[in-house]
Amino acid sequence: MKSHNSYLYAGAILSVFSALTTATLMYGPNAPAAEGFDAAQSLHDNGLYLYKKWVLFLHPQFAFLAALAAGIAMFRDRGFLIAATLFYLGLWAYTEVSQQAYIIDALNQMWRPAYLAAEGENRELWRTLITSMHGISDSQYFVVIFAFGVGTLLFGFAFGHQGKLTIFLRYGMIAIGVMSLVSFLFYYAGFTAAGSLVGAWYGYVYGPLQIAIRLALALWLWHEASTHNQKA
């Protein structure tokens, strides 16, 4: 029981970290937009550009481990639902981590410096690789947004209706999951009618709601650990 409680406390702390990384990604400063292809390649050593790639590399790890901690607490009562939730959230986390690894390493530590240093035909070869990176990254995002949407939707259904915090987690996650899947359909399945809705969602709602959900999950995990301590 003691080890179990320690993991719940750790999950609560990791959920706070995931809230902080979400806030950084949504509201942290960005590098000025590069004008033209060559100017974009010079971003490979721009710290203001690179730091969000590193934050996004770490963020899914924090969020998934926090979800895993919650899954431990709920598994006995909702085994299959939690297993499905963790499958999709694990798929999201792995894909997003690998996506950022490609961007940090292959694109910014290898291909962009090589392009800037090359001349003639060699320069065009590096340009082709860099151009193809957009397709690779976007295909990974295809998996990221779908798996995140399904996993978050299922995670929301795993929470019950007992108490305001639990209800907020349930319906907040369901809303995030549904809108992530609507966005997936808009981006990849030609659901153009959802364009205005998706724009408003990510422009005004998603950031504050996601941060609040991650902080609420931290409180829920801390409360679960404290409750187990009192029963021990």
| CA 70, chain centre distance (Å) | 17
Task: Write out the E strands in 44-192.
Answer: none
Q: Calculate mean pLDDT across residues 214-223.
A: 97
Buried-state track 7-37, b at ≥16 Cβ within 10 A, e below 16: bbbebbbbbbbbbbbbbbeeeeeeeeeeeee
Q: What is the pLDDT of residue 230?
A: 66
- Measured CA angle at 145 (ends 197, 186), to 5 deg: 35
| Cβ–Cβ under 8 Å, residues 43 and 34 | yes
Q: Does residue 46 have a pLDDT over 80?
A: yes
Sorted by sequence, the CB contacts under 8 Å of residue 190 that are 6+ apart come out as: none
What tens digit of pLDDT does each residue of 171-194 get? 999 999 999 999 999 999 999 999
* CB-based burial label for 89 (10 Å; 0-12, 13-18, 19+): buried
Residue 127: exposure state from Cβ atoms within 10 A (0-12, 13-18, ≥19): middle
Q: In the numeric block, which tokens belong to residue 161?
A: 């209706």
Q: Give the tokens for residue 189.
A: 């399945």
Q: pLDDT tens, 100-150?
A: 999 999 999 999 999 999 998 999 999 999 999 999 999 999 999 999 999
Q: Cα 53 from chain centroid?
A: 12
At 162, the pLDDT band (50, 70, 90 cuts) reads confident
Q: Is 79 exposed, middle or buried (0-12, 13-18, 19+ CB in 10 A)?
A: exposed
pTM (global) more than 0.75: yes
